[in-house]
Chain A
């Protein structure tokens, strides 16, 4: 790829999605855009850039942005943020919202739905604490394609084995041949909407919790500051912002401060930060394996050849 084409793509992606593509990320362009080149029979990346430069092929622009910004997701990714949500954030909100009994959550990079559904399952498990509460989870993403998958709530055997406790698989999923689908009750807890974080948040309403994990790392510092400032306006004064493990607000904004003892959790500056909730280390009673096991029956065995027992062959998977 010529420096001019790379520079065009950098600028195009920055404007359209906020993605700050560093000079050493040429390999990302190769791996993510070459499938589009093949699918559209464009011949090579130079032709793809040429087509983008015309500014007339909106469908191509969309698939390029989606390909470059779509990132993998899995259930209960990194585990700790979900433990913190269950053990600290929800109990604090249960106390502070006891009179209204309303909980609004925004997953700002919902991807294929694993994060919002993980939160939905936790909320379901905490039905004792949140009895008669109204909870709303909004999942947004730039990519229409990933949100279609999120809405379907249909995952492969591989996807349901990364991070999802097997007790929750049995309790909240229905087997659909080789695939697994979240049951309608959990799917109904999440609403999805295509949304660009560079656009105005004014129509989103106020949230008690915002999960915005592993998105800011792709933005440059001014874009990060802008997104954080606008998120601060959408978050309740005693709400919680949850960022990814590699992200922080420190040095970027004074709108948030880190929450004591909860890495990755941030509080709006002012009232919320001044009255940090006490940490709790109490597990929700519903998360034990035994409580996840009611009403299930056994069925026939399906042996398959031993040779297919180990997943082949992508670089991250084990080779025999």
Chain B
């Protein structure tokens, strides 16, 4: 089974995302900020990371840049999932190594479409 780390400071969003992802066959773990997520990634990389942008301690973009700089850090597919919907921000996320991008609000259909796009589900 594929693994996905959900990184979001909102417990509600983590809960909703977990329900969708588990339904799609993922084993889900959670982190509430970039710092905690980075610690989790230093143990082992998940197959996918669903990543919020604005979080305390370490934001999503900083986390992404640090993950991609780690040995093997190019492996996880990273899908941003954020309220940031400005085209410039999206472009910046892609330049930093994001594979896909979800603009909140989201639903199961969007998550599924984006995971398909990122090659995480068939």
Q: Do A and B bind each other?
A: yes
Instruction: Check A297 against B113 for contact (C-beta < 8 Å).
Output: no
Instruction: Please give, as numbers and ranges, the residues of chain B lying within 8 Å of A300 by CB-CB distance.
Output: 86
- B83 sits at the interface (CB 8 A): yes
Mask, A24-50, CB within 8 Å of B = 1, is: 000000000000000000000000000
Let me know if A161 is at the binding interface, CB within 8 A: yes
Chain A contacts for B71, CB-based, 8 A: none
Q: Which residues of A contact B110 (CB under 8 A)?
A: 158, 161-162, 311
Cβ of B61 to closest chain A Cβ, rounded Å: 10
Interface string of A300-316 (1 = CB under 8 A from B): 11111011111110001
The answer to whether B102 touches A161 (Cβ under 8 A) is yes
Given the known interface contacts A293-B91, A309-B10, A318-B20, the answer about A166 and B100 at a Cβ–Cβ threshold of 8 Å is yes
A308 touches B88 (CB 8 A): no
Q: Is the interface of B mostly helix, strand, loop or mixed?
A: helix
Given contacts A299-B89, A318-B20, A293 and B95 within 8 Å (CB-CB)? yes
**Residue-by-residue, is B80-98 near A (CB-CB < 8 Å gives 1, otherwise 0)?**
0001111111111011001
List chain A residues, Cβ under 8 A from B117. Answer: 163, 165-166
B96 to chain A, nearest CB (A): 11
Chain A residues contacting B54 (CB-CB under 8 Å) are: 301, 303
**B residues in contact with A166, CB < 8 Å:** 90, 94, 98, 100-101, 114, 117
Residues on B with beta carbons closer than 8 Å to the beta carbon of A163: 113, 117
Q: Is A202 an interface residue (CB 8 A)?
A: no
Q: Given A306-B10, A317-B109, decide whether A297 and B88 contact each other with a Cβ distance below 8 A.
A: yes
B94 touches A167 (CB 8 A): yes
Q: Is the CB of B88 within 8 A of A299?
A: yes
Residue on A nearest B93 in the bound complex, by CB: A166
Q: Residues of A with Cβ closer than 8 Å to B?
A: 79, 157-158, 161-163, 165-167, 169-170, 173-175, 178, 289, 292-293, 296-304, 306-312, 316-318, 320
The 10 residue pairs across chains A and B that have the minimum distance between CB atoms: A296-B91, A299-B88, A317-B107, A309-B104, A298-B88, A311-B107, A166-B101, A311-B105, A306-B10, A299-B86
Q: A310-B16, A318-B16 are in contact. List 19 more A-B contacts (CB 8 A).
A: A157-B85, A157-B103, A162-B109, A166-B98, A169-B87, A293-B91, A293-B95, A296-B87, A298-B86, A298-B91, A301-B54, A302-B86, A303-B54, A303-B83, A309-B13, A310-B105, A310-B107, A318-B19, A320-B12
Can you offer 24 A-B residue contacts whose CB atoms are under 8 A?
A157-B85, A161-B102, A161-B106, A161-B113, A162-B109, A162-B113, A166-B98, A166-B117, A167-B94, A170-B91, A175-B87, A296-B87, A296-B88, A296-B91, A296-B92, A298-B91, A299-B88, A301-B84, A302-B85, A304-B104, A309-B13, A311-B105, A312-B105, A316-B109
